[in-house]
Amino acid sequence: MTTTTPTAHDDEHEAINSEIGGSHELSTWATLKRGLELSPELVRGLWVTVLLALFATLGKVLIPFVVQQATDNGILADGGPDVDFVLRAVLLAAGAIIFTGFAQYVVNVRLFKAAESGLATLRIRAFRHIHDLSVLTQSTERRGGLVARVTNDVDTISMFVQFGGIMLLVSTAQMLVATVLMVIYSPILAGVVYLCVIPLVVLVTKFQPMLGRAYGAVRLRVGDLLGAVSESIVGAVTIRAYGVEERTEARIDGAIERHRAAAIKAQIRSVIAFTSGQAFGGITTAIVLVVGTVLAANDQMTLGQLLAFLFLVNLFTQPVQQATEIFNELQNAVAGWRRVIGVIDTPADVSDPGTDGVRLPRGPITVEFEDIAFSYPGGDRVLQDVNLTFEPRTRIAVVGETGSGKTTLAKLLTRLMDPSEGRVLIDGVDLRDIAFDSLRRRIVMVPQEGFLFDESLMENIRFGRPEAADEDIELAMTELGLDPWLSGLPLGLATQVGQRGESLSAGERQLVAIARAYLADPDLLVLDEATSAVDPATEVRIQRALEGLTRGRTSVAIAHRLSTAEAADVVVVVDRGHIVAVGPHEELVDAGGVYTRMHASWAAQQQG
């Protein structure tokens, strides 16, 4: 876990309800600090870059100076233009521009490298952390929003970290140089300039939080927008089948419009900030000229000095204006940064005990549920008083009405969630103490909603055991009796399954999901409606294959088709969050409870 900042959620009790944060509470400064901490590449070797940048800036300041010298002392020299002097000055300036140009190039490349490397690290880190969050925390945000956090939000930062930071340093340096020179020329006028800066500083400081909020709103809208678009793409079939294109359009349009409005609002604020910087520059020049005239008239400086001082004022106000612009960019970056940091600093409530965790040996597995109760965040109890023991080498069927809590039970068993009360033990060890790699090796679940990657069948099955050779996968398919199906596909295992497996039929997707879990070869296999869309003949075949092959293993199958229950050693009946019966099918079927009713209706369906 990476709760390193003191501002991050330190209230562990609320962890179970944690939502993905926006880290709005982080100040600009804290955000920057945390951001740099997360992307150390951003500051690595920065001093070299800064030196080079200062060098390049020096060159840029030098050139107008040389030009001015060439004009004053060359062309306008007393006694006619001094061609030699001008040529020398011109060559010097040309040399300087080539050198500074080169330095600038190096600076740019170094900055790009540092920025992109730092941001890549940040993306990967955030991505990983999203996967480490519990399923419940993940589901507090739309997928589109999560995608935004590792893509567009990070992109927002890049502009600032590429140039903003370094420009700020260079600008400060330029301001310092200009200040020193101004004080040398005329301390009074330098004081005047600084008096003029004060209102600007006040204004900019006041404006920062407002800008920050405006940019934050834009980021939020981008997340919404992507969420809405994602829904319209993933729900394409439903939208077409129900002819609700217009309604979907209206929803997306709303999100687009809100994004547009937020973006324009933020832009207007940033223009106001920029204009105030510009006003400062102009007004300062005017006031300096007025005060300077008074001073010059009173012989406290010469006209030449006054005009030279104006040049310095320009040298000073330019970086100040630039800084106000960079502060804009900073707020924009911070808005994106906050969202990324918000993810990374969201505590992973169902977390891997990691190296401290227990590693269990493989082999037959015992499962115990001890006084389990569970409620989803903000909801009622969906499981209560669950006490169960699954002996090793048994086939358990979990049955119950829709919404009775079967999937919830499976999720607790596989530690996708932690119980609100009680403990789940395997081989006598609390699940929370078992290292994830050991746990995931021993227990594998085929979820109710299977998911396939946009890859070949082969790669999808290999997901169950990444190190499996092609032959292992072919063998697994044969063992499961899926060869006849494969031979019907022209490309066999090389068949592409399409996005989310959409190029397969629903039943075929389930076959792949089962093969995948089978390949993983766990000690405990949890099947949540894993064959609900498979035809009965195939289902029976697969069940036989699994039975033969998993003999000696523990398996938990959730099913509405009670054929599964008939074949199991133990049937667990769940009713509205309570375990109402446990025992073999033969016993329960005549006991006159919920199961008897369910089975009667099932049997009636079978006879017809």
Partner 1 sequence: MTSATRPVDRPRPSPAILRQGLRVLWTGIRQQKKVFSVAVGGAALWALATVATAWAIGYVTEHAVTPAVESGEVTSGGLWMIFLVLFGVLLFNMAGVVLRRVAASIAGFNLQALYRRRVTRQYLRLPLSWHHSHPSGQLLSNAHADIEAAWQIFNPLPMAIGVLVMLVIAGTQMVVVDPFLALIGFLVFPGLFAANLVFQRVMSPRITRAQQLRAEVAEVAHESFEAGMLVKAMGREQEETTRFGGVTNDLRNSLINVGRTRGMFEPVIEAIPVLGTLAVLAVGTARVASGDLSAADVVEIAYLFSILAFPVRALGWVLAEIPRSVVGFRRVDSVLQAKGSMEFGEGDLPREGAAHSRSVGVSYAFAEPAERAVLGAEDPLEDPGPSVPVGPQRAMAIRDVTLDVPAGRTVALVGPTGSGKSTLTSLVLRLIDPDSGTVTLDGIDLRSVRKGEVPEVGTLVAQQTFMFDDPVRDNVTLGAELPDDVVWEALRTARADGFVSGMPGALDAVIGERGGNLSGGQRQRIALARAIVRRPRLLVLDDATSAVDPSIEQAILGGLRETGDGMTVLVVAYRMATIQLADHIVYLEQGQVVDQGTHAELLVSCEGYGDLVNAYAREAAERAAVAADEETV
Ligand X SMILES: Nc1ncnc2c1ncn2[C@@H]1O[C@H](COP(=O)(O)OP(=O)(O)OP(=O)(O)O)[C@@H](O)[C@H]1O
For ligand X, the closer CB: 319 or 501: 501
Q: Please state whether beta strands 367-375 and 421-426 pair in parallel, antiparallel, or not at all (unpaired).
A: antiparallel
Among 167, 200, 226, 409, binds partner 1 (CB under 8 A): 226
Q: Which does 546 bind (CB under 5 to 8 A by kind): Mg ion, ligand X, partner 1, none?
A: none
Site size with ligand X, rule: CB under 6 A: 21
Site string for ligand X, 510-549 (x = CB under 6 A): -----------------------x----------------
Phi, psi of 269 (to 5 degrees): -60, -40
Based on the number of CB atoms within 10 Å of its own CB, is 118 exposed (0-12), middle (13-18) or buried (19 or more)? buried
Which two structure tokens, joined as six digits, stand for 460?
A: 């999808």
Instruction: Tokens 């006619």: give the residue.
Output: 80
Among 257, 371, 470, 590, binds partner 1 (CB under 8 A): 257
Any residues with CB less than 8 A from the CB of 537 and at least 6 apart, and which? none
Angle 367-435-126 (CA atoms, 0-180°, nearest 5)? 125
From the CB of 396, what's the least distance to ligand X, in Å?
15
Helix (H) or strand (E) holding 573: strand 570-575
Among 4, 293, 387, 478, binds partner 1 (CB under 8 A): 293
From the CB of 57, what's the least distance to ligand X, in Å?
56
Q: Please state whether beta strands 421-426 and 429-430 pair in parallel, antiparallel, or not at all (unpaired).
A: antiparallel
From the CB of 172, what's the least distance to partner 1, in Å?
20
For Mg ion, the closer CB: 137 or 407: 407
Sites for ligand X among residues 254-293 (CB under 6 A): none
- Residue 436 interacts with ligand X (CB under 6 A)? no
From the CB of 392, what's the least distance to ligand X, in Å?
25
For ligand X, the closer CB: 297 or 489: 489
For ligand X, the closer CB: 355 or 487: 487
Phi, psi of 444 (to 5 degrees): -130, 140
For partner 1, the closer CB: 26 or 107: 107
Contact 448, 487 (CB under 8 A): no
Q: Which does 143 bind (CB under 5 to 8 A by kind): partner 1, ligand X, Mg ion, none?
A: partner 1
From the CB of 7, what's the least distance to partner 1, in Å?
26
- Alpha helix (H) ranges present in 39-186? 46-69, 83-132, 135-138, 143-150, 152-159, 165-185
From the CB of 350, what's the least distance to ligand X, in Å?
14
Report the interface residues with Mg ion, using CB under 5 A.
407, 448, 505-506
Any residues with CB less than 8 A from the CB of 136 and at least 6 apart, and which? 16, 349, 376, 377, 417
Which two structure tokens, joined as six digits, stand for 223?
A: 């997340």
Sites for ligand X among residues 324-383 (CB under 6 A): 376, 379, 382
For partner 1, the closer CB: 182 or 262: 262
The rounded distance, in Å, linking the Cα atoms of 524 and 555 is: 5
User: 448 - beta bridge partners?
Assistant: none
Instruction: Tokens 């997340």: give the residue.
Output: 223
From the CB of 120, what's the least distance to partner 1, in Å?
4
Among 24, 247, 362, 551, binds partner 1 (CB under 8 A): 247
- Residue 1 interacts with ligand X (CB under 6 A)? no
Among 21, 336, 419, 450, binds partner 1 (CB under 8 A): 450
CA-wise closest residue to 17 among 122, 136, 108, 179: 136
The rounded distance, in Å, linking the Cα atoms of 147 and 165 is: 26
Dihedral angle over CA of 75, 79, 82, 85, nearest 10: -100
Sites for partner 1 among residues 180-219 (CB under 8 A): none
Site size with partner 1, rule: CB under 8 A: 189
The rounded distance, in Å, linking the Cα atoms of 549 and 476 is: 10
- Residue 404 interacts with ligand X (CB under 6 A)? yes
Amino acid identity for residue 206 in this structure: K
Phi, psi of 361 (to 5 degrees): -70, 155
For partner 1, the closer CB: 345 or 521: 521
Q: Which residues of 166-205 are buried (b: 16+ CB within 10 A; e: fewer)?
A: bbbbbbebbbebbbebbbebbeebbebbeebeeebeebbe
Sites for partner 1 among residues 554-593 (CB under 8 A): 560-563, 566-567
Site string for partner 1, 151-170 (x = CB under 8 A): xx--x--x---x--------
Based on the number of CB atoms within 10 Å of its own CB, is 115 exposed (0-12), middle (13-18) or buried (19 or more)? buried
Among 65, 105, 371, 389, binds partner 1 (CB under 8 A): 105
Among 44, 393, 423, 440, binds partner 1 (CB under 8 A): 440
Among 180, 199, 242, 371, binds partner 1 (CB under 8 A): 242
Among 6, 428, 466, 548, binds partner 1 (CB under 8 A): 466
Sites for ligand X among residues 451-510 (CB under 6 A): 498, 502-508
Sites for partner 1 among residues 389-428 (CB under 8 A): 399-403, 406-407, 414, 416
> What residues make contact with ligand X under the rule CB under 6 A?
376, 379, 382, 400, 402-408, 448, 498, 502-508, 533
